[in-house]
Structure 1
């Protein structure tokens, strides 16, 4: 009996829990009904997990297993034969009356013989024949199979969905990384342009200040030359005779008194630039908060 039960278990499909029909083998070595595994994989595109061990198959590759199908038919036949034999063996007798058990009490869920149905304990109970009761409860048990199969299928779909989530998460993270990479590339391009523009302004200011300094030096050089000529003239005038000294004295005195020193142009340093402050200024907004 144990060996037959083990054989039946091996000949069953893990999806429909029934004997294998047109069995096929997938990459991991597990076997299923062709229709069951095709239905299990119908929503998959690139990964096909095993319903038993969740091992992913790389492609839709089903190998027909004719020998296993034949073994399943043998197990099914053995099961039917043993069921008939077991039914014959289970024709037990009532322990109280030593009569064949022929009825079933639905209230007490107890197998009875004809005499048991006539005792006071079962007279008012719902009692029916053994065959009728077995048929009723067999249908009741069969009604559980579809919901259980549906739960298995639903959980399997949930497992398949969960297996896809890491791949989808990786794809989302890669898209986000590419987006951030693009944003930083644009930011670097902006910084390069700002650096070039800032250095260009610094160069122009340096050139402008250099021109001012050269002009300032030229003006002082010309003023020194004027001073030297006037000094020479004054020195020569001061040693002349009275008549020559006083002749045209007003002109030379006016020139000495009207001398104006050229203005000194300050050699100021260029304006200091802060690239960070300039960037921050572009994104700065004045916000007035509600006091409440």
Structure 2
């Protein structure tokens, strides 16, 4: 039992409880046939109904409480160590089982596995919210309470509680859903072909015969492993993305520094160009001004010469007119040569 997964633990316990009850009934009938006059323990002590198969196997049949230091006889009936010693005759070498009256020789063995079952049972099954003395077997969703069978029958007997539905805590603790095709059976397997949960009837003689299947627990473990692998892949991708982001940040920082450097170089280069252009402009302007002055002087000299020539021409024309007007033929011939 200690090696079983929790989901299959209660199924295992139920089967053990049923086996124990069957063996107890068989031993009891055999004991009655052999010793018809043998006195039996009080019916209230031996036939008291326990709330569930699971609780029956972890409950002492003498004190009706959870087993303390459980010991198991060869007939498979279990009791508290102290309860069994109190019920037996220490002087007799042969003792009898308080439940089935089967003769038992020797000391009973300490049942370590059963002790572990009791411990698991105590941690998983709540106490009855009404009597606080028994373990709860049912839960009422409307009342939001957990009750033992006796308290359930007492508190929910009235008609006004007819619509209240009780859920089996012990079945619920198994962790299985009900089969869709067989409501009375737990769906303990996963059909890999159909992708749905099924019961053993479905895979043995139902609609899922010859289909590939795994137990729900194995499927869960496989899915968990696959999910963990996916998580690891995502974590790896996350690390890659973080590295890429860091790389982009470094590239951005490097680009900013490079941009500032290039910007400075461009500004410096154009500043030098502007300075050289300004200097060249000054030189060209100075040379142009100098050329203007020289050309202007030359043009003034030309203008002055042309003006003198014009004046001379004007004087000659005036003189010629005077000669023509006032001279005789002989004088005219002489003056023409003069002109």
Same fold (TM over 0.5): no
Bin for the TM-score computed over the shorter chain: 0.3 to 0.5
TM-score (norm 1): 0.36
